[in-house]
Amino acid sequence: MAKTKQEKLDEKREREYARKHKRKYRLTPGDILFNILNYGFFTVFTLSCIFPFYYIFINTISQRSLVAQGKITLYPKGLNIQNYLDILKVNDVFNAFGVSLARTIIGTALMVAATGLIGYLVTKEEMWHRKVWYRFIIITMYFNAGIIPWYMNMSMLGLTGHFAAYIIPGIVAPYNIILVKTYIESIPAELEESAFMDGASFFTVFRKIIWPLSKPILATIAIFGAVGHWNSFTDSLILMQNNPKMYTLQHLLYNYLNQSSNLGSAMSSGNSSAAAAAMENALNVKVQKYTISMISVIPILLVYPFMQRYFEKGIMLGAVKG
């Protein structure tokens, strides 16, 4: 559609105004020095965070003999994916990966559902003694009896050696409930009032209004929960001693780290037969350790791209706008 003469005149005036009032800013020597130091610091910081991951990765795709000799430092040599193919033949890797994946998906889903519902209920004045229940949940953040009472409690509940031991303790997360409660309180109350006037129940309002509008904060706590479940190995180490089939991938990696340490001790001992056997297995253990580390890290990294737009909005909850 052709522009009218008046529209063209208005655009010309806007361009002239912008040209006349354009702010000209020249960097002072202090500004230049600050920018150099600022960019330099964050560049070094970023590289220091990325390099360990990069170092492990290039060792997993390099020739094994070069890895054993410690010649892989800045770039891979003898590119191949044989290490990833061989790791599929290692005992219990598939099972451990399945356990870690299942506990992450199930545990995170139940935690998000319970946290969302509880966070909504404690905002309702109609809930019986809601302040008492809310404070009862929050006060658990300030007390931690330690590993021994925790183990005794899990043992008395009959959860040792069972998959439920991974899920049940993390369903109710007080800190996440605080985040969800604060976010829900920022949602205009008029939306709920309109729904109630139309005859909607509390559960209907939660399911059709509160839950969709709370996606940013729910995605944020989902990422926190998924990372926690995926990286956790202490509960597997303590509670699953009598059930190796319930070992997580991180627990398996921990065992390989110990095995690598034991091989190093054998090689440094005076026993020639033990040293020979250790030398034969040390390379495979080291490469397997690196490869399993990569397998442990990659899945959780894939979560962020899909949750990023919600995560950024949710993590800024309560931020001061200027």
pLDDT of res. 110 = 94
CA geometry: angle at 184 spanning 112 and 123, to 5°? 95
Q: Which two tokens stand for residue 35?
A: 């920018």
CATH 1.10.3720.10, applies to 86-315? yes
pLDDT of res. 108 = 93
pLDDT of res. 127 = 77
Which of 219, 225, 212, 183 has its CA nearest to residue 307?
A: 219
- Judge contact between 228 and 175, C-beta under 8 A: no
User: pTM for this one?
Assistant: 0.72
pLDDT of res. 53 = 85
pLDDT of res. 235 = 87
Cα 150 to the center of its chain, rounded Å:
24
Tell the burial category of 169 from Cβ atoms under 10 Å away from its Cβ (0-12, 13-18, 19+). middle
pLDDT of res. 109 = 94
pLDDT of res. 270 = 47
Extract the residue ranges of the chain whose pLDDT is less than 50: 263-264, 266-267, 270, 272, 274-276, 278-280, 318-322
Give the integer Cα–Cα distance in Å for 7 and 315: 43
Q: Provide CATH 1.10.3720.10 ranges for the chain.
A: 86-315
Cα 281 to the center of its chain, rounded Å:
33
pLDDT digits (tens, 9 = 90+) for 34-81: 889 999 999 999 999 888 888 888 888 887 777 777 777 788 887 877
Give the integer Cα–Cα distance in Å for 270 and 276: 11
Q: Which residues contact 235 (CB under 8 A, 6 or more apart)?
A: 165, 166, 169
- Judge contact between 249 and 294, C-beta under 8 A: no
Give the integer Cα–Cα distance in Å for 194 and 106: 34
